[in-house]
Amino acid sequence: MWRMKRIIVLGLVAVMLAVTLWGCGIETPQVQAPPGKSGESAVDEVRSPAVDSQPSASELSVHFLDVGQADSILVVLPDQRVMLVDGGNNADGPVVVKYLERTGIKRIHYLVGTHPHEDHIGGLDDVIEAFEVEKVYMPRVAHNTRTYEDVLTAIKARNLKVTPARAGLIVLDDPGLQIEFLAPGSSDYKDLNQYSAVIKITYINCSILLTGDAGFESEEEMIASGADLEADVLKVGHHGSRYSTSEEFLEAVSPVYAVISCGKDNDYGHPHEETISRLAGQAARILRTDRDGTVIITCDGQDLQVKTGQSSGD
């Protein structure tokens, strides 16, 4: 039934321009065809792009920030509560803070560090210092780095506590709106990536799955857990690594959109060919921050809208 949705794609030409927020410098809109899938039937309506990326009430909006080879995802819930999942690398902290400020964010109700690698938690100390934060979630695993210590120090300085992210933990269970952790399902992985907090957000008929850098091991556990993995939008695990996003997992998720957060010409060769072909096999429409810039997906509870080509604002 998801496939029957009216899906609207809005393409924005990226504009890097002077600081004025509104009005100036927006170029002629272009519809961006996804790589290798031009003319796909999922796109059946095109609108002029809105200059304003401020979230509107009664909409769920998910912003996959273009933070290069890293992750940072802003989720604005229909009641305007805010979740931030990861904060990019250390150097991205000010970029993320600025983007949130520009979006009108004052308070972060749920802050998630998916796992302690720098490309996920690096900018979180800046975020914690800049905004009122209510709850912090991270998997129960330490990492002996300055970056990790900086985040813990910022958390302590704000008198916050870390709630351990783990499979089955429910963040929110309101009528029509649920947020739940689907991973990590274990507590003794060899690979830090497998500790990644995986979050499923469901708003009426829209669902989004954010997987951090979870790989095959965690994916197998999620499948075995019997959790409902199906989602319209999948944040592809581990920047599109070949060791993530197995065929079985993809079948279970069956995404309409697959968003890959990665840097242009990154050292890891992300996203890997194998992942791209597995996604193509599922006919998922691929969006990539290295090509599409910041990707914003909104849902009114029924229909999804996609905007690409936004600058993350630095």
Amino acid sitting at position 269: G
Least separation, in Å, of the C-beta of 261 and Zn ion?
8
Least separation, in Å, of the C-beta of 294 and Zn ion?
17
Task: CB nearer to Zn ion: give 109 or 288.
Answer: 288
Residues that bind Zn ion (CB under 5 A): 119, 213
Least separation, in Å, of the C-beta of 117 and Zn ion?
5
Task: CB nearer to Zn ion: give 118 or 203.
Answer: 118
Task: CB nearer to Zn ion: give 2 or 243.
Answer: 243
Asked if the peptide bond before residue 184 counts as cis, ω within 30 degrees of 0, the response is yes
Residues near 149 by beta carbon (within 8 Å), at least 6 away in sequence: none
Least separation, in Å, of the C-beta of 46 and Zn ion?
33
Report the distance separating Cα 32 and Cα 98, nearest Å: 26
Task: CB nearer to Zn ion: give 119 or 219.
Answer: 119
Backbone angles phi, psi at 5, to 5 degrees: -60, 150
Report the distance separating Cα 51 and Cα 101, nearest Å: 16
Least separation, in Å, of the C-beta of 193 and Zn ion?
7
Helix (H, G, I), strand (E, B) or coil at 112: strand
Helices H / strands E in the chain, number of each: 8, 17
Amino acid sitting at position 21: L
CA angle 257, 284, 312 (to 5 degrees): 35
Task: CB nearer to Zn ion: give 67 or 304.
Answer: 67
